[in-house]
Each structure stands twice: as structure tokens, then as C-alpha cells.
Amino acid sequence: MSDAIGRREFLQSVAIVAAASRAGAQTTPPGEWGTSVLDIHLHPRATVEGNVLHLDGAGVTKAVLLTGANAEDRAKQSIAAHPGRFVRFASVDMTLPDAIDRLRMAAKGGAIGFGEIKSQVAAAGPEMQRLYALAAELNLPITIHFQEVSQPGSPGTFNTGLKKFDAMLKAYPKTTFIGHADAFWANVSADYAEDTSYPKGPIKPGGVTDRFLGDYANLFADMSANSGNNFLNRDPEFAAGFLVRHQNKLMFGSDCPCPDGRGGTSGRCVARATLTMLKKLAPPEVFRKIVWENATRLLKM
């Protein structure tokens, strides 16, 4: 690449950043969604301003930064630089021998939850059960990435065994669990065969995710990523009933990789796509609960 092109691209990206910041300043709260919005699932960008850019661009008021326990400084910088806009969770690979010590230290240092926990273990295995006990002891929620099928963007399987997770919900009643990722959302349908990440078509009622949310007070749901968005879109009529049924348990999140909260060059921002769908499917008071009230209550913000 020539210097001229590099410089032109740099100037273009500066212009995009500046334009998005100006637009964002006009749209934060209550802004274009008609209410304050909390994103419960944002992974930190390379810079503090990159984090703010995604919030402002998508019309989001506040976000939970999900940060590895060894990269907490960046999250701390965002919180310090923009008071009231960020809080943070901490995560580690639960197969590490000192995982629990690291998480305990992160909580001491200001993390208000654990996650996202994405480890190549069984969700009912000993590594995870140690975490469930710690979370109950410290009274902090855990966001868990449930994935049964390997995919190019996320190779491997993680926290497997959602269909039998009721055993954990029962065994750890004082632990607050927040479910997330493809297996969690695919399992709203009773016919999920763990053979694909984003099943399409009508939902068969009676899936474990729907049942567990109804049966266990300690289970909540993070609606982020393509998995949450796919659930909303595959069977909108079913989804509308689900949103009302679990209106006190569901929390908006993005897990969006786009740079500016407007979809960048691809034009697709997961935050915007999911907020648009939620607004379309849920009555206004339910929408407000899902995008703001449930998470701020759970996180005592």
C-alpha cells in the first residue's frame, strides 16, 4: 500500500469518527430509541474513544465492558474517562489453575460481574462449579457463553450441556446466571439438535431455554450477538410472546464488532439490528425493561 492511500484512508476514518461522534451527541439519552439503553455485552475496542464511538453511534447510554482479567486496564481507562457510561465484568479461562484467584482479585478491583465466561469445559464440570460458588459468595452475576457447535468465527465448543443445566440452576440457587450465545438461543426451540449454530424457521414450543427462564428465578438472558438476533428473526410471532413472557429476565446486549455503532463499511451493526427488532416486537414498557430496567436493577446501577 502506498503512503498516499494509507493517509487517505486514515483521514477518511478520522472523518467518519468525528461525524459519528457528532451524530451520537444528538442521540444519547433518551435519544432515538425513546428510552435510555444499556448494552450488557460490549467487548473493549483498541482505544477508549473506540468504545464511546460504538455507544454514541448506536444510541446506547451505557455499556458493560466484558474484559479479560489480564486486560483490565483498558476497561478501567474507559470507566475513568467517561464517568457514568461504563461498568465492567471480568473473565478468565476457567481451565487455568488460578482462575478463581484471578476472578476474586478482579472483583476486588471493581468488576461487578464475571464474563463472558467462554471456556472449553462442561457447564456442569468442576471448573465451572467453583465459579458458581464464588459468584454466590460475592453476589455477582455470571455471563456464560453456551456453544455446542464449532463455527469458523468461534472454533470449538464452550460450556457444553445446556439441555441439562437445570441441575446447576437448582444446585446453585444463590448464583445469578446470565445465558448467552448460540446454544442458549437455539434451545428456545424444543427441536434443537445441536447440529447448527443459527437454526432457521418456526420455533417448536417447550425448549429448555424457555422452560428454565420460567422455572428458575436465578436465570437471566443476554440477547446479544447474531444468536440473539437470529432468535428474534426466525419466528417473530413466537418471539413477541417470549419477550412478554420473560419481560423481567431479558437484557439487551450487542456483542457487536462494528467500529462505529452504525455498521462501519458493512452497514450492519448488531446493536442497531437487535434494538430495531425488539422495538418492533415488544410493547413500549416491555422494551424499556429489556433495554434498560432489568440490567440496571440486576447490576444495582
Considering beta carbons, is residue 56 or 235 the nearer one to Zn ion?
56
Considering beta carbons, is residue 5 or 25 the nearer one to Zn ion?
25
Judged by CB under 5 A, the number of residues near Zn ion is 7
The answer to whether 251 and 40 are in contact (CB under 8 A) is: yes
Q: Quick check: 63 binds Zn ion (CB under 5 A)?
A: no
Interacting residues with Zn ion between 65 and 124 (CB under 5 A): 116
Q: Quick check: 145 binds Zn ion (CB under 5 A)?
A: yes
Out of 64, 135, 181, 291, the residue judged to bind Zn ion by CB under 5 A: 181
Q: Quick check: 186 binds Zn ion (CB under 5 A)?
A: no
Considering beta carbons, is residue 207 or 264 the nearer one to Zn ion?
264
Q: Go through the chain and tell me how many residues it has.
A: 301
Out of 42, 69, 144, 258, the residue judged to bind Zn ion by CB under 5 A: 258
Interacting residues with Zn ion between 223 and 242 (CB under 5 A): none
Contact stretch for Zn ion (CB under 5 A) within 43-51, 97-105, 143-151, 288-296: 143-151
C-alpha cell at 190: 424444543
Cα atoms in the 13 Å half-sphere on the side-chain side of 74 = 19
Got the DSSP string for 95-149? Answer: TSTTHHHHHHHHHHTT--SEEEE--SSBTTSHHHHHHHHHHHHHT--EEEE-B-S
Considering beta carbons, is residue 95 or 139 the nearer one to Zn ion?
95
Q: In this structure, what DSSP letter does residue 290 have?
A: I
Cα–Cα dist 183/289, whole Å: 24
**Residue 86 Cα distances to 13, 69, 178, 267, 297, angstroms:** 24, 16, 19, 25, 15
Q: Which residues bind Zn ion (CB under 5 A)?
A: 116, 145, 181, 256, 258, 269, 271
